[in-house]
Amino acid sequence: MASAQQTLSFSSIGPPVTPLLLPQARSPRFRADNSVSSYASVSGNRSRTCQRSSCKPHCPFSSFLRREGEESRGGTRRISTSLSPSGKLRTTISTPLRVQASLKPQLEEAAKQVVDYFVRSGMAVGLGTGLASSMAIRYMGEKLKDGSLREIVGVPMTSMSAVEAAKAGVPLATFQDYPQLDFAFDDADAVQEGTLFAIVGRKGVAGRESILKEKAIAKAAKQMVFIIEESKFVGQLKGAVPVLIEQEDWLDVAEEIDDLFLGDAEVWRRPSHGEAGPMGGDFPLVTAEGHFVLDVIFTTPIANAVEVAQSLEAISGVVTHGLVLDTAYAAAVASSTGVKIRTSLFKSAFTSME
Ligand SMILES: O=C(CO)[C@H](O)[C@H](O)COP(=O)(O)O
């Protein structure tokens, strides 16, 4: 075992770290009087003045214009708007590189430590998605090749995990065949210290399976660990929480969510690519299961993630969300000083790392 590993104990949970950046601008609001046609003025008719007789202070088009040239940062995405010379409103969303190149070795070390400590021969293992999970999958493949691991079955959370496993030579099985797993690991977009409540799914791409399966597999594991870099280990969760919704009546659902978190969160429909707006631009993302994704971007820290999750789940049309609560036993956190293993306040502790 590597020397950087720590004994798992509650006292190993460190002090809060600096929270994520606050967004600088408000997004347009979803309100009851924002009919589909009024929203069409945002993504369709690009004239600069709202022509609706019913235009109100919270008219989405007006607020969109107010945001012209401003930038906001919601979780992992950078959102910027500008007017093109032809007067066309452009909104672009980009995802900055989130793993500092210098932390890659530590992240790889974290991935290896997780595999070394938790994965044993004969286990069914849930395989997560993201850079760290890919590293862990590759390391499992190496261990299978050199014989230090045997008879492992990997249950992939997404097709990306499956591809990594196939490349690494990790035998695959379906979740249907293995509904109960010995262990699972995954990346996350943010993990809260102490509770190890997490946010996943900020990086969804068009056509990819949604977080539905990812969450189900994480929950089905006897033990589950997130592998993350230090910047994702936060005192309080905030930024974007992905929410999967049915396509039917999606605008009503978006309005309801917007009303629910009025003043605390902005609601955007996720685009698949290209120009985006609060409506998801011309090409809203549709998951492989046929759902839209709303990014509910919390501009203030989430005081009670359980309450947020319950409120979202109570809304008809909401399929699931990116909050993963009471699931992880530990987080392997990669930092410039090495790898720290943090355990959940809510899960029974291991006594040692071997
Ligand atoms: O849903 C997720 C993890 O399952 C995350 O959105 C994402 O995949 C994290 O990837 P990375 O760690 O490479 O940024």
The interface pTM score, or ipTM, of the predicted complex is 0.96
Given a contact cutoff of 8 angstroms between Cβ atoms, the answer to whether 255 and 270 are in contact is no
- Closest ligand 1 atom to residue 158 Cα is 4
The alpha carbon of 213 and the centre of ligand 1 are apart by a number of angstroms equal to 14
Given a contact cutoff of 8 angstroms between Cβ atoms, the answer to whether 277 and 41 are in contact is no
The set of residues, in sequence order, having a beta carbon less than 8 Å from that of 12 and lying 6+ positions away, is 6, 340, 341, 342, 343
Distance of alpha carbon 305 from alpha carbon 298, whole angstroms: 11
- Closest ligand 1 atom to residue 229 Cα is 12
Given a contact cutoff of 8 angstroms between Cβ atoms, the answer to whether 194 and 328 are in contact is no
Strand, coil or helix: what is 12?
helix
Q: Which two tokens stand for residue 327?
A: 């699931």
214 catalytic? Reply is yes
Which residues are bridge partners to 127 per DSSP?
Answer: 156, 185
Written as tens digits, the pLDDT of the chain (354 aa) is 333 333 343 234 333 222 222 222 334 444 333 322 222 222 222 222 333 333 333 333 333 322 322 333 333 444 444 444 444 444 444 444 455 568 999 999 999 999 999 999 999 999 999 999 999 999 999 999 999 999 999 999 999 999 999 999 999 999 999 999 999 999 999 999 999 999 999 987 666 677 999 999 999 999 999 999 999 999 999 999 999 999 999 999 999 999 999 999 999 999 888 766 678 777 899 998 899 999 999 999 999 999 999 999 999 999 999 999 999 999 999 999 999 999 998 876 443 333
Spot the catalytic one: 209, 214, 230, 255: 214
Q: What pLDDT, on a 0 to 100 scale, did the predictor assign at position 102?
A: 81
Kindly state if the Cβ of 129 falls inside 6 Å of ligand 1.
Answer: yes
Given a contact cutoff of 8 angstroms between Cβ atoms, the answer to whether 188 and 199 are in contact is yes
Kindly state if the Cβ of 203 falls inside 6 Å of ligand 1.
Answer: yes
Kindly state if the Cβ of 187 falls inside 6 Å of ligand 1.
Answer: yes
Helix, strand and coil percent figures for the chain, each rounded to 5? 25, 25, 50
Buried b (16+ CB within 10 A) or exposed e, 40-70: ebbbeeeeeebebeebeeebbbbbbbebeee
Q: How many CA atoms lie within 13 A of 167 on its CB side?
A: 12
Which residues are bridge partners to 234 per DSSP?
Answer: 192
Q: Which helix (H) or strand (E) segment is 131 a member of?
A: helix 131-146
Distance of alpha carbon 127 from alpha carbon 209, whole angstroms: 14
Which residue among 135, 200, 211 is best mutated to probe the pocket of ligand 1, counting the most ligand atoms within 8 A of its Cβ?
200
R_g of the chain computed on alpha carbons: 21
Kindly state if the Cβ of 193 falls inside 6 Å of ligand 1.
Answer: no
